[in-house]
Structure 1
Amino acid sequence: MESDDARAARVKELLVDCYKPTEAFISGLLDKIRGMQKLSTPQKK
């Protein structure tokens, strides 16, 4: 899996032409990705 820093760098690349601030968007996106990863982790019974 990629690190959060690598993911953030990739998203910044994709949003390079965006004229709005992207830091808050990227931070929120990474939080959601972390949450989804926790949900998809198989739980032991």
Structure 2
Amino acid sequence: AWYERHGYERTGETKPFPTGDPRFGLPRQTLEFVVLKKHIPSLAE
């Protein structure tokens, strides 16, 4: 919600959270990153 209030939009895309590094343990559930985008106007706009 914070990112959306600050101009970011969800793209509908997700990326898998990297697992397999024993330093961080094993997640109890499958985790994913939600991909966001933000339009940054150019000086010409």
TM-score normalised by structure 2 residue count: 0.29
**Rg: which structure is higher?**
2
Greater helix fraction, Structure 1 or Structure 2: 1
Higher relative contact order (CA 8 A, sep 6+): 2
TM-score, structure 1 length as denominator?
A: 0.29
